[in-house]
Chain A
Amino acid sequence: MREVKAEQIKETIKDLFLKANFEIGSDVLEMLKERKEKEKSEIGQAVLSQIIENDIIASNEKIAMCQDTGYAVVFVELGQEVAIVDGDFNEAINQGVREAYDEGYLRKSVVEEPLFERKNTKDNTPAIVHLDIVPGDKIKIAVTPKGFGSENMSALKMLKPADGIQGVHDFVVETVEKAGPNPCPPIVVGVGIGGTVEKAALIAKKCLLRAVDVHNSDERYARLERAMLEDINKLGIGPAGLGGITTALSVNIEFAPTHIAGLPVVVNICCHAARHAEAII
């Protein structure tokens, strides 16, 4: 067994949340610049310029690119030959979040209970941790601080198998249309198809970690991603919802085996601050 100290996990989590909140990925930045050149709306171009300028300031000055520094979502692929020592795994993750949000002057946006008191936990914990046990002796950690302006515009639909490709396509485009200006377009659209209710949601979230210039490795799904993106960008919503041909930067689909009776689809929307960072221990 390879031993990894809990402290190292904590430090990695902390570094990743700081990086994700300050530095937009080069894939997103390049795509924003490319779309700005193509944008037909003058207002849309001005909005894209502001977003690009904003992301450069955030990265240079180490301040949050968006004040909604998100719910801390963590994906861990834990090699089965790793033993975590000198501490509690979940606590190491939460402590990493706590220190990142404190030392990075990031906003604390978590309430401990959703309905009655909605009292802020004041340290942005607990994180939501998705754990996979995989072969090997490494730990792969990916984090995404998830903003709720876009999270709130997400949707689930249990389609019939007969609804097929067109049914999925229409549901995704309709969800984006209904969201309009609310989720801070240009957005990244995560689509989970198949599985069960929770599996579809999980893979929809997970595919938001994929770079905006990378398509699904299955050519059929890659084609569907392109077709959906094309239709979404014909909706006219545009940057900040003020009109234009740049409503989404990318549609990312993941699929999973599902039941003979079902076709679950989850659309998880992410704003243009498509923040994620990953590391391997």
Chain B
Amino acid sequence: MGKIIKIKTPVTTETIRELKAGDNVLISGVIYTGRDAAHKRLVDLIEAKEELPVDFDGQFIYYVGPTPVKPGDASGAAGPTTSYRMDPYTVPLLEEGIKGMIGKGLRSNEVIEAMKKNGAVYFGAVGGAAALIAKSIKKVEVVAYADLGAEAIHRFYVEDFPVIVIIDSEGNNLYEIEPPKYRAI
């Protein structure tokens, strides 16, 4: 298994360049959520050259639509959704300065190339570990697109949020490195 590295957001390109595929990372600070509908709106704004509702420079975006927060809890269940659906919107967001995406599953070559160019990483959180992941989310706020419900952009305040580097800023991809070691067919 890779090293365990603690990082705090926002991050610099230098921090990102040090992360390698397979590293276990514990994220603290703020992360923003966004999935299908919010991504579409963000990219529409970028194309219209309008201001975004959030300053994404040096930030991470987490592909998640959390469950509503139960009274007394800090967060609802909040595991990753499948990332490829955000591929068509990701390149312009990387150009806006997003330094990391958190999700699960495969990414397109265009996204990986833009990550290399801009110095960004793709983190994996364990899909379906939503109740466990919620333990590291200390506070949740909606910051944009409240009308989208679970798909709104939320700001999560996290402590030691557990992820693994799937694709690093050089394009090394854990999905291509690990499974072949166990392939027997």
Contact = CB atoms under 8 A, between A and B. Distances in A.
Interface of A: 40-44, 46-47, 50-51, 53-55, 57-58, 61, 63-69, 105-109, 118, 120, 122, 149, 152, 180-184, 231, 234-238, 240-245, 271-273
Contacts of A180: 105-106, 175, 179
Interface stretch (B9-17, B52-60, B66-74, B89-97): B66-74
B149 interface: yes
B70 A241 contact: no
Contacts of A107: 65-68, 76-77, 150
Interface in B137-158: 148-151
Contacts of A67: 64-67, 76-79, 81, 130, 150
Nearest to A239: B126
Given A51-B129, A152-B82, A105 B179 contact: no
B86 to A, nearest CB: 13
Contact of A241 (B37, B64, B78, B105): B105
Interface of B: 1, 22, 37, 64-70, 73, 76-79, 81-82, 84, 104-106, 124, 126-135, 148-151, 162, 164, 166, 174-175, 177-185
Contact of A105 (B68, B78, B133, B175): B68
Contact of A40 (B127, B128, B131, B182): B182
Given A107-B68, A120-B151, 17 more contacts: A53-B132, A58-B77, A64-B76, A66-B77, A105-B69, A107-B77, A108-B149, A120-B148, A149-B81, A181-B106, A231-B185, A234-B185, A235-B179, A236-B178, A241-B179, A242-B174, A243-B178
Given A67-B78, A107-B150, A238 B179 contact: yes
Contacts, number: 169
B129 A54 contact: yes
A66 B126 contact: no
A interface, over-half SS: loop
A240 B127 contact: yes
A43 B1 contact: yes
Contacts of B65: 67-68, 107, 109
B182 to A, nearest CB: 4
B131 A42 contact: no
Given A50-B132, A68-B81, A242-B124, A120 B179 contact: no
Contact of A242 (B106, B150, B178): B178
B164 A243 contact: no
A46 B163 CA distance: 12
Contacts of A231: 185
A149 to B, nearest CB: 5
Contacts of B182: 40-41, 44, 236, 238, 243-245
B164 A43 contact: yes
B150 A57 contact: no
Contacts of B131: 54-55, 57-58, 61, 63-65
Nearest to B129: A54
